[in-house]
Structure 1
């Protein structure tokens, strides 16, 4: 299960990096020219991502919670909703903007949507059919991340990352694991939920680290 946790954590780290790179690239293009077009694109993408996140939250509350049951699902959804609101607010604070000129709601919206996806993925493993309407074969979400780097290095970064993810995949099931451990769906639930929390903390750290460690250069 440690390997499974690390696998989801690596995915979240890559999503955080993608969000920062995406926002920075579009803001730099906006500064170079055609400002209105690029800022409009940023705004539209941000609104679409938040709209998808809100829709996901509504669907999760409707189908994965019940008025008289499913307390754990209510807690998972509510906590992640609160955490996502917090990181969204922090991302646009003036002090954060001073040290992170390219920080904003686009990155936060990407993290929010992916967090809702991980939350759904976790609750899809809940063994109680009353709280989990998707007790059907669920397609494994093998996320393929395409990375392109303009920096020429002696090693291929995307290949290294792919190798690490492959190794972590093999750690989902270690030799000697008992059938009882493998058949425990709650382990998968907690692995995914805890990885979403750690991912949100990592994103929050990328925002506040320059303020806390002011003597370091994070560029």
Structure 2
């Protein structure tokens, strides 16, 4: 009973501290919308989970755990010593790729649970809105509790193998949704700028169209040249050369297709701007793929490229890991927030820019002008949500699985963080993603011509 009361007291204290911490953070930050602050807090949770997963793979962690008194070697998870009346654990099984699986299992379970709770929420007037936008201390305690519980899942091939296949499916779905949104964004961007040019016949919009297209194609060509310089060499790195050359040819093909007369007849606003953006993204995916080549001579890390030195075996590229983490967080936020593109709902983030609902200030019941001027967070979803809250959590769960699979070498799980940069599994997953991106964009151009009886 005393333990239960202590736990309740600790939970309340942590929740209060969490709220206080959030208030202090908001006080130090510029004013922002409630929908924005909530997304950032969930992104922070994913970031913390990613850092913990990286720590589980860090070299030397097993040696540190071996010095802890209750960590002993043994065949079982828990060992009871009747003589000394103490319990010891086999801590070797608590690190490595299985530890990453457990951490990400807890985080994924939390996001899926939140997605289930938020089904059908239409505005912040829903009683469940408080759960979405608050109780951060309690949420972190729940995640910590789920993580601790995940480490008590019995060892063996059942959990590792089943969860690996779940992670592969979820990670691949996350990649596929990203590719769909990239292609959709390319078409939306081009249509918007071409429409503005056609309506106003402004030379400024024409210059913007031409300038953006040339700039992205310039970056694409520069990227290809850099890939050939740093990720290939004379008489070697044949696979890297094939990937770079083949994807360059694919980019040229889709660029030519986008300006064919038959395509222009069905899609008059289709052009090189979309092709330039897709080509640039494909070259980025190509770099991401070849940077995972298991051949160290054909895979210099970012630090080695900047310093002009040869890659050191066993040296972790912290800069590259940080860049990858930022890209995952950004893509997770962007993908999760663009729910209307996938679900077909009316929730769009343009509502995020308005001032409606400013007076409904979080944690403030007195809505006078003086307090309005000093408020840091206001409710902009009183009429309707700016994005699908349930879909947002589903995408963060998929992002968690993507992080898990990338860190652990996809279908060839490895307990070393070094494999994050040198593994063939990630290389093939990413190069396949680049081909899927080209295929999706090419189909978006050819479908109106091939299926002329359907409306797109």
TM normalised by structure 1 equals 0.88
Structure 1 unpaired stretches of 5+? none
Residue 103 (structure 1) aligns with? 270
Determine the C-alpha separation between the residues in 2 that align with 1:122 and 1:147: 26
Cα deviation code 1:18-74 (max 9, x no counterpart): 110110001111111143221111000000000000000000000000111111100
SS at match of 2:296: coil
Residue 436 (structure 2) aligns with? 198
Deviates more, 1:3-12 or 1:59-68: 3-12
Please state how far the C-alpha of 1:13 moved relative to its aligned partner: 1.3
Residue 214 (structure 1) aligns with? 452
Among 136, 143, 165, the alignment partner of 2:395 is: 165
SS at match of 1:171: helix
Q: Does the 8 Å contact 1:65/1:73 carry over to 2?
A: yes
Cα deviation code 1:146-200 (max 9, x no counterpart): 6597x845876565654343222233347xx899822262111111100110111
Residue 69 (structure 1) aligns with? 236
Q: Does the 8 Å contact 2:171/2:398 carry over to 1?
A: yes
Determine the C-alpha separation between the residues in 2 that align with 1:4 and 1:46: 31
Deviates more, 1:121-130 or 1:17-26: 121-130
Cα RMSD (Å) of the superposition? 2.5
Q: Does the 8 Å contact 2:285/2:431 carry over to 1?
A: yes
- Closer, same or farther in 2 for the Cα pair 1:178/1:13, shift >3 Å? closer
- Closer, same or farther in 2 for the Cα pair 1:160/1:92, shift >3 Å? farther
Q: Does the 8 Å contact 2:170/2:401 carry over to 1?
A: yes
Determine the C-alpha separation between the residues in 1 that align with 2:172 and 2:410: 19
Alignment of 1:30-69 (within 5 A): 30-69=197-236
Please state how far the C-alpha of 1:86 moved relative to its aligned partner: 0.4
Tell me, yes or no, if structure 1 residue 124 matches structure 2 residue 124.
no
Determine the C-alpha separation between the residues in 2 that align with 1:35 and 1:196: 35
Q: Does the 8 Å contact 1:7/1:168 carry over to 2?
A: yes
Among 279, 301, 321, the alignment partner of 1:112 is: 279
Report runs of 4+ in structure 1 exceeding 4 Å deviation. Answer: 146-149, 153-161, 177-180
Determine the C-alpha separation between the residues in 2 that align with 1:178 and 1:129: 16
Determine the C-alpha separation between the residues in 1 that align with 2:431 and 2:276: 18
Residue 6 (structure 1) aligns with? 173
Determine the C-alpha separation between the residues in 1 that align with 2:338 and 2:398: 19
Cα deviation code 1:118-152 (max 9, x no counterpart): 11111111122100011623232222426597x84
Q: Higher relative contact order by CA 8 Å / sep ≥ 6: 1 or 2? A: 1
Among 15, 18, 26, the alignment partner of 2:182 is: 15
Deviates more, 1:153-162 or 1:69-78: 153-162
Q: Does the 8 Å contact 1:5/1:192 carry over to 2?
A: no
Residue 413 (structure 2) aligns with? 182
- Closer, same or farther in 2 for the Cα pair 1:71/1:171, shift >3 Å? same
Determine the C-alpha separation between the residues in 1 that align with 2:186 and 2:388: 17
Query: Rg larger in 1 or in 2?
Result: 2
Determine the C-alpha separation between the residues in 1 that align with 2:238 and 2:254: 24
TM normalised by structure 2 equals 0.44
Please state how far the C-alpha of 1:4 moved relative to its aligned partner: 2.6
Deviates more, 1:114-123 or 1:51-60: 114-123
Determine the C-alpha separation between the residues in 2 that align with 1:161 and 1:17: 18
